[in-house]
């Protein structure tokens, strides 16, 4: 077999389907978000970023940067080991306390990414509990699905956000079997929000544990940034709240929060926790600064939601179709992979607007989209440029307009 030929053929398939991904080579500029510099074929150009998950711009916030600089000078660059073997820095201990407090839980446990926290926690919880059955929302993130698969536990999938279907599946299970209901608060691609209280009611009825991925909720919802579970007053009802430090908190890392026994269990058995070097202490310090700032300040959250509402209104006025949802995520629907990619290229090349196309397998085929993420620092003028560029490409490709 010619291995190189094989690799190239596989890539060609992606290209034909319009799914081949090309990185935009951009330089974020501290203090200038959402502006960035794009490198392309030796030239540079200013662009406006409209697809970042640094939803509040905290990755460039002066308090976060100062905390990271200070921690770097104080502790050095890396953690120096796994958490068990020399890598537990005081910053990790403090951050886990802050995260537990943020969610009103006894404990929290850090991982190197949100992906790893889902993978490790779900695979450990389900595989280390004999007979455990996972009941999973059909739209759950890849990191949850991979963790559940790895656990080899029995898995049932309920229709997206459908509490009646969840109830039906739970009722079919052995009443004595341990059960885990896994879902997200804000779904990243459609931007819809789970009926968490109703899910908890049904889970309680069948004595199931609950696992909520709050990756797109923490920092952005709730009076102190504790996520949708805080906003809805249900954090105490969840067995596990999982989150990331990489989106609203602007750095990197993931975590779970819950009871002391549950966190200790995962800490003691999860290979994805045990065998990986701890996060750099400066990252932990930056995350603490972001969490503290967003606990005390609701300004960024309020402005983010106002910006999302304003963008929707403007898209409506321009007839550009977008998925209605109650969150900060604005999915503009193109519904064709090749057109979606082409439009994204035109926006970048001709308008200096950076919004990545979202194609299969991230979303189902036929629902390809531009996932637009406004932030508190996008101005009305930025929005004018975005909406008029979208109107332009919509006309050029004779795309379907919203009614
Ligand atoms: N869960 C969801 C719902 C996500 O969208 C993502 C990342 N896009 C993750 C988990 C993984 O988080 P991280 O980027 O911190 O690895």
114: nearest Cα among 13, 258, 252: 252
3-class DSSP state of 138: coil
CA quadruple 385, 190, 152, 164: dihedral, nearest 10? 170
Give the residue-averaged pLDDT of 122-127: 98
Mean pLDDT of 112-132: 98
The burial of 157, by beta-carbon neighbours within 10 Å (0-12 exposed, 13-18 middle, 19 or more buried), is given as middle
Measured by CA distance, the residue closest to atom 12 of ligand 1 is: 114
Please give the distance, rounded to the nearest whole angstrom, from the Cα atom of residue 43 to the centre of ligand 1.
32
Predicted pLDDT at 361: 86
Pairing of β 107-111 and β 254-258: antiparallel
- Residues catalogued as catalytic: 247
Residue in 122, 139, 142, 143 to alter for ligand 1 test, most ligand atoms within 8 A of Cβ: 143
- Contact indicator for 101, 89 with CB cutoff of 8 Å: no
- Determine the distance separating the centroid of ligand 1 and the alpha carbon of 116, expressed in angstroms: 9
Using a pLDDT cut of 90, give the percent of the chain over it. Answer: 93
* Average confidence (pLDDT) over 292-321: 97
**CA separation for the pair 217, 383 (Å, rounded):** 24
Separation between Cα atoms, residue 386 and residue 49, nearest integer Å: 10
166-190: pLDDT as tens digits: 999 999 999 999 999 999 999 999 9
Q: Which atom of ligand 1 is nearest to the CA of 253?
A: 15
CA of 338 to the centre of ligand 1 (A): 25
Q: Residues with beta carbon inside 6 Å of ligand 1?
A: 113-115, 118, 141, 143, 184, 188, 213, 215-216, 244, 246, 254
Question: Which residue's CA is the closest to the ligand 1 atom numbered 5?
Answer: 188
Give kind and range of the element (H or E) at residue 241.
strand 240-244
Pairwise CA distance, residues 289 & 64, whole Å: 5
Alpha helices in 141-195 (DSSP H): 142-151, 163-172
Q: Residue 403: is its pLDDT beyond 80?
A: no
What residues does 180 pair with on adjacent strands? 134, 209
301: number of Cβ within 10 Å? 22
- β-sheet bridge partners, residue 109: 256
ipTM of the shown complex: 0.99
**Minimal-distance CA residue to ligand 1 atom 14:** 114
């Amino acid at each position: 077999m010619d291995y190189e030929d094989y690799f190239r053929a596989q890539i060609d398939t992606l290209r034909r389907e319009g799914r081949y991904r090309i990185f935009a080579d951009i330089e974020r500029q501290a203090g200038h978000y959402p502006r960035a510099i794009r490198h392309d074929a030796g030239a540079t150009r200013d662009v406006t970023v409209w697809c970042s998950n640094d939803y509040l711009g905290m990755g460039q916030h002066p308090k976060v940067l100062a905390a990271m600089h200070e921690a770097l000078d104080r502790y050095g660059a890396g953690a120096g080991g796994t958490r068990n073997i020399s890598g537990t820095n005081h910053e990790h201990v403090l951050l886990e306390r802050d995260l537990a407090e943020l969610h009103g839980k006894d404990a929290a446990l850090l991982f190197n990414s949100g992906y790893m926290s889902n993978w490790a926690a779900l695979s450990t919880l389900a595989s280390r509990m004999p007979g455990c059955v996972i009941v999973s929302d059909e739209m759950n993130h890849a990191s949850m699905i991979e963790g559940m698969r790895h656990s080899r536990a029995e898995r049932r999938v309920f229709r997206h956000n459908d509490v009646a279907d969840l109830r039906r599946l739970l009722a079919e299970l052995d009443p004595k079997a341990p059960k885990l209901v896994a879902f997200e608060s804000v779904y990243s691609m459609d931007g819809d929000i789970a009926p968490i209280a109703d899910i908890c009611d049904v889970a309680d009825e069948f004595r199931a544990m609950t696992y909520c991925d709050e990756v797109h909720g923490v920092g952005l919802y709730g009076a102190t940034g504790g996520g949708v579970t805080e906003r809805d007053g249900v954090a105490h009802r969840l067995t596990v709240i999982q989150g990331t430090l990489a989106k609203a908190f602007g750095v990197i890392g993931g975590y779970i929060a819950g009871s002391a026994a549950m966190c200790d269990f995962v800490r003691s058995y999860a290979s994805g926790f045990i065998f990986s070097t701890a996060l750099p202490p400066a990252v932990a310090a930056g995350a603490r600064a972001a969490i503290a700032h967003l606990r005390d300040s609701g300004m960024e959250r309020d402005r983010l939601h106002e910006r999302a509402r304003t963008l929707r209104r403007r898209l409506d006025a321009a007839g550009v179709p977008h998925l209605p949802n109650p969150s900060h995520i604005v999915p503009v629907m193109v519904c064709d992979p090749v057109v979606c990619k082409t439009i994204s290229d035109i926006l970048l090349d001709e308008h200096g607007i950076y919004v990545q196309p979202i194609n299969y397998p991230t979303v189902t085929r036929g629902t390809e989209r531009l996932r637009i993420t406004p932030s508190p620092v996008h101005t009305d003028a930025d929005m004018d440029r975005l909406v008029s560029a979208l109107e332009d490409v919509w006309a050029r490709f004779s795309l379907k307009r919203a009614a």
